[in-house]
Amino acid sequence: MSQTHTAPLHTSFEGIARLRESMASVYMGNIEAIDRLIRCLLARGHMLIEDVPGVGKTVLATSLARSLDCAFSRIQMTPDLLPADVLGVNVLDMKSGSFEFKPGPIFANIVLADEINRTTPRTQTALLEAMGEATVSIDGITRQLESPFMVVATQNPHDFEGTYPLPENQLDRFLMRMSLGYPDANVEADILEQRPSQAHLHNIHAVATRAQVSHWQDATDSVRLDRSLIDYIVAIAEATRNDDELTLGLSTRGSLALSQAARASAMLRGRDYCIPEDITENLHIVVGHRILARSYSSRDDIAQQVLDRIIHRVPSPA
C-alpha cells in the first residue's frame, strides 16, 4: 500500500468502523446485513431489503440514517400514493402569480421507501430517474439531488396480499437486494430484553457528516481493481448470458455494479485494492435480482443455484 494513501484510508476505515458500531447498537445480531448496507452506501448504490414483516427491515435502514448527519426522509408507500407525493409539485403562488416548487420527500440524502411494492407501478416508476441519475424532472425542469443520495427500500415477499411486483427495470436500479431472516434464539432473547429499537434508536448520535460520507465514496471509487479481476467479472457475466436455465443474463450495468460493490468490500476492510473474495461475496446480492430464470416457479431459487454453479465453474484469479 502506497504511503500517500495510507493515512486517508486509515482515517476512513476508522470512521466506517464507528458507523458500523453505531448501527450494531440498535440492529442486533446480524452484522453481515449491516456490512452489506454500508457497502451499498460506499458504492453510491441503493438497497432493496426483502423479507417478511417484523424482522427489522425498517430498524436497520433507520439506524443507518440516524448514524449519519444527513437529511433523512421516510416515505410510507401505499396504494393511493401519487408520483407528486414522492417527487414534489409546482404550486401557484396567488400573490406573485408564479409557480413555486414544493420538493417532495425524495429530496433528502437517505430516503427510506417503506413497503415499496405496496404502491402502484406508476409511483414505483417515479423513482427511476432519481435512483438512476440523482435528478428529478418535473414540468420540463430538471433538479439535481444532493450527494450523497441513497434509497433504502423495504418490501414484503411477492406472495403477500396487496403487493405489486417490481418490474425488472426498477429492480436493476438497486445495487443490492438482500433478505434478513430471523435472528437466532440468543439474539432474539437479547432483543426482547433490551428493546433496542425503543431504548436506543431515537438516542443515536450522528457519527459521520455528509462530507465524510462523500469522502468515503470518493475513496471507494479509487480502490484498485486489477485487470485480472475485471476479466473475472466479465467471465462471470458471460457465464450468466450463456446459461441454459436463464432467459436474461447479467447486463453491462450489472457488471459495473458488481465491480463497484467489490471496491466497497475492500474499502470496508481497509484495503485500497480488491481481491477475488470481494467479488464473490457480493455476487448473490448484486447479481441475483438482475438475472431471470426460464421457470417462473421458484425463480429466485434457480437464479441463486445458477450463481453457485458459476462461482465453482469460472476460474478465480490467484
**32-74 pLDDT per residue, tens:** 999 999 999 999 999 999 888 778 888 898 899 999 999 999 9
Q: Look-up: residue for cell 429466485?
A: 300
> How does residue 297 score in pLDDT terms, banded at 50, 70 and 90?
low
pLDDT value of residue 149: 96
pLDDT band at 159 (very low <50, low <70, confident <90, very high): low
Query: Which residues, in sequence order, are CB contacts of 86 under 8 Å at separation 6+?
Result: 75, 104, 105, 106, 123, 126, 127
Q: Which pLDDT value is given to residue 68? A: 94
Greater model confidence, 274 or 126? 274
pLDDT beyond 50 at 3: no
Residue 215: pLDDT over 50: yes
Q: What is the pLDDT of residue 311?
A: 93
Give φ, ψ of 164 to 5 degrees: -115, 110
pLDDT at 2 over 60: no
Q: What is the pLDDT of residue 249?
A: 92
- Percent with pLDDT over 90 in the chain: 61
State mean pLDDT over 134-151.
92
Share of the chain above pLDDT 70, in %: 94
Q: What is the mean pLDDT of the chain?
A: 89
Mean pLDDT score, 203-227: 94
> What is the mean pLDDT of the segment spanning 297-314?
87
- Please report the pLDDT score of residue 211 as a whole number: 94
Of 112-116, 145-149, 155-159, 239-243, least confident by mean pLDDT is 155-159
pLDDT at 272 over 90: yes
162 pLDDT higher than 70: no
pLDDT surpassing 90 at residue 150: yes
Q: What per-residue confidence (pLDDT) applies to 122? A: 87
- Quick one: pLDDT at residue 54? 79
Q: Which of 14-23, 30-39, 114-123, 249-258 has the lowest mean pLDDT?
A: 114-123
Helix axes 3-24, 31-42, angle to 10 degrees: 130
Task: Answer whether residue 116 shows pLDDT above 60.
Answer: yes
